[in-house]
Amino acid sequence: MKENKPYSVLSNYASLRILLVEDNPGDIRLFQETMRELPDNLAIDYVTCLKDAFPKLDEKHFDVILLDLFLPDGNGLEVIGRIRAHAPDAPIVVLTGLNDEQTALNAMWEGVQDYLIKGTIDGRSLLRAIRYAIERSQMQMTIRALSLIDDLTGVYNRHGFMNLATYQIRLTRRRKSGFHLLLLHVDNLREINQSEGDTSGNRILIATARLCSDTMRSSDIVARVENDEFAIIMPEAEWDNIATVIERLDGAIARYNQQNSDSLLSFSYGVVCFQSSTSVSLEHLLMEARKIANSHELRLSGIQKEEVDSVEKNE
């Protein structure tokens, strides 16, 4: 008789439908063996290529998609985009080999909920990944339905940021990983509002939000946390990635300033790192990033390389 008690992890879900997109017969057999360990409330459909996955997604609702990124008719990150086009709200868990872990991390930059390494999957790890994927997807949909968006800029407001960032801290501790927090302070916004009017200040805030959203990954959290401050959480990001993002954001600002000489963008900023082993609060992280930004040592508008390099010293 099957023992279900160890898998109470999904006890809140009456039933779940899973779509597995995998073409390797050996991996499919291993997955079928793993499925025998799971509760009876999980139903799974198997397909071996995108061509067969699309009709399934069109005709049925799936709670989770388990997706191999290397298929006969699609490879790499483009597979995610093609699946998203047919099921934009379905949580995706990527399946990857040991040698493809970096690809899986890159996939998380594209907004997938989790990844599993083939050959190491057991019933418990599979259920944990499914639960996390569903919870994160449901939270994202709930946030869209609540008043957690800044009316002016369209990014998250402070309340939305605190909710999502607090969840990210819990997730980071669970996964024993880390994230970076980037805080941008809009220079001289009060003076601009006083001398040129709120319309000019609002135009700068809207442009800042758009540049940040266009530059960051889909999995990053972009928010306006104060009148003249934007905060961005970048999960699973190494320092080299952060430096690249800062350089890319600075390039976007420089291009904007060339085209809009009447409302130039200029920022001071701070970057701090959160590790799962630390016990600092979200407010503390914001305060530390704000201290760095207020020192005016790190700036965006035409940043120099030595300024980018100095960020690492502040972590």
Identify any residues that bridge with 180 across adjacent strands, giving them in sequence order: 234, 273
Query: Using 50, 70 and 90 to split pLDDT, how confident is the model at 7?
Result: very low
The pTM for the full model equals: 0.56
- Per DSSP, the three-state class of 295 is coil
What are all long-range contacts of 114-122, with beta carbons under 8 Å and residues at least 24 apart?
116/66, 118/27, 118/30, 119/30, 121/30, 121/31, 121/34, 122/34, 122/37
Output the pLDDT for position 11. 47
Q: How far apart are CA 53 and CA 127, in angstroms?
A: 22
Amino acid (one-letter) located at 231: A
More confident of the two residues 103 and 33 = 33
| Position 223 confidence tier, pLDDT thresholds 50, 70, 90 | very high
Q: What is the helix (H) or strand (E) element at residue 207, kind and residue range?
A: helix 198-215
- Cα-Cα end-to-end distance for the chain: 53
For residue 115, pLDDT beyond 90: no
Is residue 127's pLDDT more than 80?
A: yes
Whether the per-residue pLDDT at 248 is higher than 70: the answer is yes
Whether residue 2 has pLDDT greater than 80? no
Dist CA 202 CA 183 (whole Å): 19
String of DSSP letters for 125-174: HHHHHHHHHHHHHHHHHHHHHTT-B-TTTSSB-HHHHHHHHHHHHHHHHH
Answer yes or no: are the C-beta atoms of 231 and 166 closer than 8 Å.
Answer: no
Question: Nearest 5°: phi and psi at 44?
Answer: -130, 140
| CA distance linking residue 71 with residue 243, whole number of Å | 33
pLDDT at 12 over 70: no
List, in sequence order, every residue forming a beta bridge with 234; answer none if it has no partner. 180
Q: Which domains does the chain have, with CATH numbers?
A: 5-142 (3.40.50.2300), 148-314 (3.30.70.270)
Can you give the pLDDT at residue 98?
64
* Residue scoring higher pLDDT (14 or 116): 116
pLDDT of residue 302: 57
